[in-house]
Amino acid sequence: MKRMDRRQFLAGAGVAAAGALACGTGAGLDVAGRARRLAALPAGASSLPLDPSDWASVRGSFALSPDTIHMSSLYISSHPAPVRAAIDQHRRGLDRDPVEYLQRHERSLTYAALEAAGRYMDADADDLALTDSTTMGLGLLYSGLPLSPGQEILTTEHDYYVTHEAARMAAERSGASVRKIRLYDPGDIGRRGIALDPDAIAERIAREVRPRTRVVALTWVHSGTGLKLPLARIAEAVRERAGNRSPEERLLLCVDGVHGFGVEDAGMDVLGFDFFVAGCHKWVFGPRGTGLVWGRGSDAWSLVRPAIPSFLDSSAWAAWLRGVAPPGETTAQRATPGGFKPFEHRWALAEAFDFLREIGRERVAERTHALARQLKEGLVDAPGVRLVTPLADSVSSGIVCFDIDGMSASTTVDRLRAEGIVATVTPYATTHARLAPSLVNAPEEVDAAIAAVRAIAA
């Protein structure tokens, strides 16, 4: 199917009004209030066009409440102005005449979202399948990969529930097994973060690859500690270890990339993996309920067995009308689950990726890392605070995890929230408090978060 050009729904999208910034609401501390006054945007900023070179203008694109320091985009993000405008545009069109608007625009706008994602990811849009989330993407991928009894999925003890459960279900269906390895011991987490070297991580994973290992299932940035895996080094080391294999035993490298996606300046061509899965409602600041799976061309996608009928693959539909099975091998389009979707959100993906591209992927990475580094350096030697996330940028990204002596992670997060700072608790058996500065934050807000943590720990 020939791809159609994206229709331009937005022209000169304005920056959301920030309003006058209020004082902090917490009792005893006013560090959040000080940061808000320092980082204040001018009232009426909604009339100003986005200046991607000005971080205050970028932050002004978000309609976040001005009396709170939001450091939780790793969990769920706010939409910038162009995304909000696109969602509203499509929603109004669907509300006015849902059948006409859907039938006229579905294919062109869906392809526009894929093309925008491909431009951002340095990927061919034909290699991208659309999903609703990272969870859906991992479930569809692992359940669709060719696994046989005696083969195994290799993952780590540190991966999130979704990877572990998707791998378990895939192994249960196929008769394969799941093996979890440990990348570091609890003793490797000192008061200055996890002590790990990128080469050591890659070598440790490669050593665990066995002849029966069919899938290596990893996570780019661990949401439980903030550790970032060196994917390109891992891919090189693992493939060297695996050597030449038959097609039936080919080693497949798969990654949950959601917490590096929208942060790191890395396209799909340099990561070295076969499949990349991510939601788009976190660091990409995209519409909620959107995600994607990238596969390395037809060699990768041809191995996947789709689980849900696709409406995007017109050849599958045409084959059904003829009463026959779809011809040819699986493609990303055929692997894209069909059905009715929150179309106004899916179609606004184009604006989300274009927003990041306008700012610049390299600048986004530099900014996010600088804010995270500022936060880590402010916490690493704080009395009563233990930093969990590695200090080095090479093995960390935007997530910063930490502990306060004698205080549970949930209490720490509650105390920060009382000071107007939004943090989260890591959803693992071992919990940590977690802050994640992003494009919606200013250095003054990071200083305020550091001061609040230090005061709470005192």
Look at the alpha carbons of 367, 399, 169, 186 in this order and tell me if their dihedral is positive or negative. Answer: positive
The residue type of 54 is D
Q: What is the pLDDT of residue 401?
A: 97
Quote the distance between the C-alpha of residue 382 and its chain's center.
29
CATH architecture of 101-357: 3-Layer(aba) Sandwich (3.40)
Question: Is the confidence at residue 121, as pLDDT, over 50?
Answer: yes
Q: Mean pLDDT over all residues of the chain? A: 89
Question: Is the confidence at residue 219, as pLDDT, over 70?
Answer: yes
Kindly calculate the radius of gyration of the chain based on its CA atoms and give it in whole angstroms: 23
Give the DSSP letter string of 128-172.
EEEES-HHHHHHHHHHHS---TT-EEEEETTS-HHHHHHHHHHHH
Q: What is the pLDDT of residue 43?
A: 34
Q: What is the pLDDT of residue 184?
A: 87
Residue 48 binned pLDDT confidence (cut-offs 50, 70, 90): low
Residue 251 half-sphere exposure toward CB, CA atoms < 13 A: 25
Burial 362-373 (b: 16+ CB within 10 A, else e): ebbbebbbebbb
Quote the distance between the C-alpha of residue 319 and its chain's center.
35
The string of pLDDT tens digits covering residues 256-271 is 999 999 999 999 999 9
User: What percentage of the chain exceeds 90 in pLDDT?
Assistant: 84
The string of pLDDT tens digits covering residues 221-280 is 999 999 999 999 999 999 999 999 988 889 999 999 999 999 999 999 999 999 999 999
Phi, psi of 101 (to 5 degrees): -65, -40
| Mean pLDDT value of segment 381-388 | 95
Q: Where are the domains of the chain?
A: 31-78+360-457, 101-357
| Strand partners of residue 292 | 130, 278
The string of pLDDT tens digits covering residues 153-173 is 999 999 999 999 999 999 999
Question: Is the confidence at residue 174, as pLDDT, over 90?
Answer: yes
| Mean pLDDT value of segment 68-77 | 96
Q: What is the pLDDT of residue 36?
A: 44
Overall pTM surpassing 0.85 (yes/no): yes
End-to-end Cα separation, the chain, in angstroms? 63
| Mean pLDDT value of segment 368-392 | 96
Burial of 60 (0-12, 13-18, 19+ CB in 10 A): buried
322, 347 contact by CB (below 8 A): no
The whole-angstrom separation of Cα 227 and Cα 197 is 11
| Strand partners of residue 128 | 294
Q: What is the pLDDT of residue 353?
A: 98
| Mean pLDDT value of segment 57-62 | 95
The string of pLDDT tens digits covering residues 310-363 is 999 999 989 999 999 999 999 999 999 999 999 999 999 999 999 999 999 999
Residue whose C-alpha is closest to residue 426's, from 224, 228, 256 = 224
Tokens at 250, concatenated:
């080919």
| Mean pLDDT value of segment 135-161 | 97
Question: Is the confidence at residue 3, as pLDDT, over 50?
Answer: no
Question: Is the confidence at residue 17, as pLDDT, over 60?
Answer: no
Say yes or no: domain 31-78+360-457 is CATH 3.90.1150.10.
yes
The string of pLDDT tens digits covering residues 389-434 is 999 999 999 999 999 999 999 999 999 999 999 999 999 999 999 9
